[in-house]
Amino acid sequence: MEPASPDIRNYTVGKGIAALKLIDLAESTFSDMGNCPAFEFTPELETLDHFSSRAGVKSKDRTVVISKSGTLKITAEEWTTRNMSIVLLGEASVDSSGRTVIDIFSKNSIAAEVKFTGTNEIGQKFEWHFLRVEFVPSSAISPISDEWGQLEITGNVVAVNGKFGTVTHIGGEGDDVSA
């Protein structure tokens, strides 16, 4: 059980594991994406404001949400065929020499179920589970660098039967491990 606020054990230095299942390939298990220094979810809500016209100066008296969506951005550092296929929207195959070849832009998007499992030692841990993310390339891919190479993908989080996903508390500082 997480500590009630206020409590410094609720401050978090996030770490975790990003994994996904490719929907088009009907995968049944999540595959680890390797080291991912960034995993960012950005909610995108469209609102409609209402203003009262009953006084000399109109004043806002209600705001409602009229659309919900979100964006998920993952930065991966492991240049695997799987990760490269996702960021290049490509289909991977094996040629006659046994080498893996990615057909760049052979797909319009890559649909995946995504899970991020918190592994941090500081703060509370959560598991994020997105039911469907439609990934498209979002930044330059540079095979030449004086820094560690990174692969960045951005995807639209879309609803499946009205649900976008879940966030589940899975433990953290303050857990009573003796119980």
Residue 57 CA from chain centroid, whole number: 43
**Residue 115, domain member (yes or no):** yes
Encode pLDDT of 117-155 as tens digits: 999 999 999 999 999 999 988 789 999 989 999 999 999
**Residue 107, domain member (yes or no):** yes
Q: Could you tell me the residue range of the domain that residue 150 belongs to?
A: 15-172
Domains in the chain, number: 1
Residue 178 reports pLDDT greater than 50: no
Encode pLDDT of 60-81 as tens digits: 999 999 999 999 999 999 999 9
**Residue 9, domain member (yes or no):** no
**Residue 2, domain member (yes or no):** no
Distance CA 16, CA 128 (A): 10
**Residue 104, domain member (yes or no):** yes
pLDDT band at 175 (very low <50, low <70, confident <90, very high): confident
Report the mean per-residue pLDDT for the chain.
Answer: 92
The β-bridge partners of 135 are: 110, 155
**Residue 39, domain member (yes or no):** yes
Q: What is the pTM of this model?
A: 0.88
CB 23 within 8 A of CB 112: yes
Residue 20 reports pLDDT greater than 50: yes
Residue 179 reports pLDDT greater than 60: no
